[in-house]
Structure 1
């Protein structure tokens, strides 16, 4: 159901939002360059 899906998304969003790759992706976007992900 929708509510379960939203809870799942919310939990995983917060886990992934704090990763090194997420920060690199955001920085690369603002610097208009390709990201260099490290799988972290």
Structure 2
């Protein structure tokens, strides 16, 4: 199976490691506390 987006394709027949990289100075947990 392949995923197509913006002119590129990603082969999903093999496992891939994906994640979110937080490059802000404030961690996600602190943002959640501030917005509550």
TM over 0.5: no
Higher helix residue share? 1
Q: Give the greater-gyration-radius structure (CA).
A: 2
> Which gives a bigger RCO, structure 1 or 2 (Cα 8 Å, sep 6+)?
1
Higher strand residue share? 2
